[in-house]
Amino acid sequence: MPRRVYLDNNATTPVLPEVVDAMRPYFSERFGNASSIHSHGQQTRAAVERARESVAALLGARASEIVFTSGGTEADNLAIFGSLQAEESRAQKTRTQKSHIITSTIEHHAVLNAARHLESSGCELTCVPVDARGLVDPSDVRRALRPNTKLISIMLANNETGVIQPVRKIAAIAAEVGVHFHTDAVQAAGKIPLSVADIGCDLLTISSHKLHGPQGVGALYVKKGTPIDAMIHGGRHERSRRAGTENVPGIVGLGRAAELAQASMEDRDIDKVAEDIAALRDHLESKLLQLDSSAVNGAGAPRVPNTTNICFDGIDGEALVIALDLKGLAVSTGAACSSGAIEPSHVLIAMGLSADRARSSIRFSLGKLNTADDVDFALSIVPETVTRLRELSPVWKAAVSY
Ligand code: PLP
């Protein structure tokens, strides 16, 4: 079997064997509906509530503040639509103005397109910019505030560059003016320690499949007292915040993945794991930067330890991803959902890259199962593939002949 190395952990992570073991009984003998009052139901209800405790512990939250969803996208949508709708219905009698939301130009589409949808139905929207390192300036958020601002949503770590945003400062600004603050922590959970109290957020999104849990399940932290309206109507599941029979195996898997991430933090292993991943990432990055005309997108900003996004001038990122895949290496041009789309990454464009340079950029995202051998494998094929693609590129040849 030809060797395959997976360096696309920001797209999704492999489910850990311990997680699969925890989930397995909920596909077979423990099949009860968690809303049933008989013992089958009680068994699955107990499992769902244990998972809720585990997710809450990972975030430093109360179990009652965790709402299970079908993933990060739904949790982001619930945060945005649900909190805005709750705010508007509370203010309905006195409402004279439209609501205003602040987000950033580099959010995942789960936030950006939810906010744009609200804009198309009459809401006011401000997308604050980022600097060349991909960082939001909290003073831009402060300047964007309006009397009718109802929600600020700024991500914790960017999925394409790994850049960590100054969310504590932004949360403090939001708290000062009494506006709710949501952060999409999908790419931070399991990679760096998280505490909702430390951040000071009212709403926080995580997604199971980014932390070695199954796909199709996530959670929204809703700080006690934060008004939120359900977006999916039906039964009174999830304390009437998200209707629908629970995805019990998925929730159990998320809970176990959260426990494993939490346990490694308690063992103080997380720093070691993060350091090891950062060391692998830094080694990969420094070797790749030895190639002519290559640069790290997000260099100089704080980043999660596993991600590097590198621009190789003169190559087409999609062509490089395909060529590397044929040689056994899985990487990405950025957000998985926009791969295959012709538009260059909105994140890199927002950081000031030209469309050509954005299209020449590749994301390498490591995970805790990656080894030094994996990085060596990547280093044995990426430079030669970049060089070969450049040799085939008339644009590159014309540029270097000057
Ligand atoms: N937010 C960020 C930052 C992400 O990276 C992703 C997925 O790539 C999501 C939200 C969406 O999460 P999910 O895939 O669970 O819907």
174-194 pLDDT, tens per residue? 999 999 999 999 999 999 999
CA distances from 33 to 66, 191, 208, 246, 250 (A): 19, 33, 21, 8, 14
Residue 15 DSSP one-character state: P
- Name every residue whose Cβ is closer than 8 Å to that of residue 113 and which is 6 or more positions away in sequence: none
123, 127, 201, 337: the active-site residue: 337
Q: Whose CA is nearest to atom 5 of ligand 1?
A: 159
pLDDT of 399 reads: 76
**In the numeric block, which tokens belong to residue 276?**
């090891």
pLDDT of 381 reads: 97
Cα–Cα distance for residue pair 46/293, rounded to 1 Å:
56
Q: Decide whether any atom of ligand 1 lies within 6 Å of the 338 Cβ.
A: no
| Residue 322, CB-side half-sphere exposure with 13 Å CA sphere | 8
- Structure-model confidence comparison of residues 95 and 134, the more confident one: 134
| Bridge partners of residue 119, in order along the sequence | none
CA distances from 348 to 23, 81, 362, 393 (A): 38, 27, 11, 22
- Name every residue whose Cβ is closer than 8 Å to that of residue 112 and which is 6 or more positions away in sequence: 103, 127, 346
Of the pLDDT bands very low, low, confident and very high (cuts 50, 70, 90), residue 2 is confident
Of the pLDDT bands very low, low, confident and very high (cuts 50, 70, 90), residue 77 is very high
Residue range 19-56, pLDDT digits in tens: 999 999 999 999 999 999 999 999 999 999 999 999 99
**264 close to 61: Cβ distance less than 8 angstroms:** no
Ligand 1 centre distance from Cα of residue 186 (Å): 6
Q: Is 159 helix (H, G, I), strand (E, B) or coil?
A: coil
pLDDT of 335 reads: 47
Is residue 337 annotated as a catalytic residue, yes or no?
A: yes
**In the numeric block, which tokens belong to residue 366?**
């490591």
For residues 213-237, give the mean pLDDT. Answer: 97
Residue range 59-71, pLDDT digits in tens: 999 999 999 999 9
- Name every residue whose Cβ is closer than 8 Å to that of residue 260 and which is 6 or more positions away in sequence: 16, 18, 19, 212
Ligand 1 centre distance from Cα of residue 338 (Å): 12
For residues 310-321, give the mean pLDDT. Answer: 96
Ligand 1 centre distance from Cα of residue 82 (Å): 18
Best residue among 187, 208, 209, 307 to mutate for probing ligand 1, ranked by most atoms within 8 Å of CB: 187
**In the numeric block, which tokens belong to residue 88?**
């508007």
Q: Is 190 left (phi over 0), alpha (psi -120 to 50) or beta?
A: left
CA angle 149, 167, 116 (to 5 degrees): 45
pLDDT of 337 reads: 47
pTM of the model: 0.95
- Is 336 a residue whose pLDDT tops 50? no
Task: Name the average pLDDT for the chain.
Answer: 94
Q: Decide whether any atom of ligand 1 lies within 6 Å of the 160 Cβ.
A: no
pLDDT of 341 reads: 54
Q: Decide whether any atom of ligand 1 lies within 6 Å of the 71 Cβ.
A: yes
Q: Decide whether any atom of ligand 1 lies within 6 Å of the 110 Cβ.
A: yes
- Give the residue from 165, 134, 136, 138 showing the smallest Cα distance to 352: 134
For residues 296-315, give the mean pLDDT. Answer: 97
Q: Decide whether any atom of ligand 1 lies within 6 Å of the 159 Cβ.
A: yes
For residues 322-347, give the mean pLDDT. Answer: 81
For residues 239-253, give the mean pLDDT. Answer: 97
Q: Decide whether any atom of ligand 1 lies within 6 Å of the 334 Cβ.
A: no
DSSP H or E stretch at residue 29: none
